[in-house]
Amino acid sequence: MDRAWVYILKCSDASYYTGKTQKLEERIAQHQNGTFKGYTSKRLPVELVYVHGFSTYHDAIQAERQIKGWSHAKKEALFHGDFKLLHDLSACRNVSHYKNKENV
C-alpha cells in the first residue's frame, strides 16, 4: 500500500512543479484551488501529469529532491515513460567526461 506520492504538475506557463504528499487527492485539489500561496497559485490552472507511489514518506522525499533537480526535458521523459530518453538525458556531458571516454 502506498503511503506517500511524488507528483508533477504542469502549470499554465508550461513550467513544472514537483511535490510530495501523503494525501494525494487533497493536495492536488489544494494546488488547483490556489489554497497555498506560492509557485502554483500564481500559475493556475495546473494539471497533474505524473504521480508515483512510495511505501514510505522518506522514499518520496528522496525522489522529490532528485526530480526537482532535473531539467524540463528529463521531467517530460519521465512522465511520458520514455526511459531511453531519460537515460540519454542523464548522461554526463562535461568536457572531462568526454576526454576520459576517448581514452578508454
The count of domains in the chain is 2
Residues 79 and 54 grouped into a single domain: no
Domain identity same for 53 and 5: yes
The range of the structural domain enclosing residue 82 comes to 71-104
If asked whether residues 26 and 62 sit together in one domain, one would say: yes
Same domain, residue pair 79 and 29: no
Adjacent-strand bridge partners of 7: 19, 51
- Alpha-helical runs (H) found in 55-94: 57-68, 72-79, 83-90
Co-location of 6 and 31 in the same domain: yes
3-38 pLDDT, tens digit per residue, is 999 999 999 999 999 999 999 999 999 999 999 889
Read off the pLDDT of residues 40-96 as tens digits, 9 standing for 90 and up.
Answer: 999 999 999 999 999 999 999 999 999 999 999 999 999 999 989 988 888 877 666
Q: How many residues does the chain have?
A: 104
Instruction: Please check whether residue 46 is in contact with residue 31, taking contact to mean a CB–CB distance below 8 angstroms.
Output: yes
Task: Kindly state whether residues 24 and 65 are assigned to the same domain.
Answer: yes
pLDDT of residue 96: 67
Gap between the Cα atoms of 60 and 78, Å rounded: 16
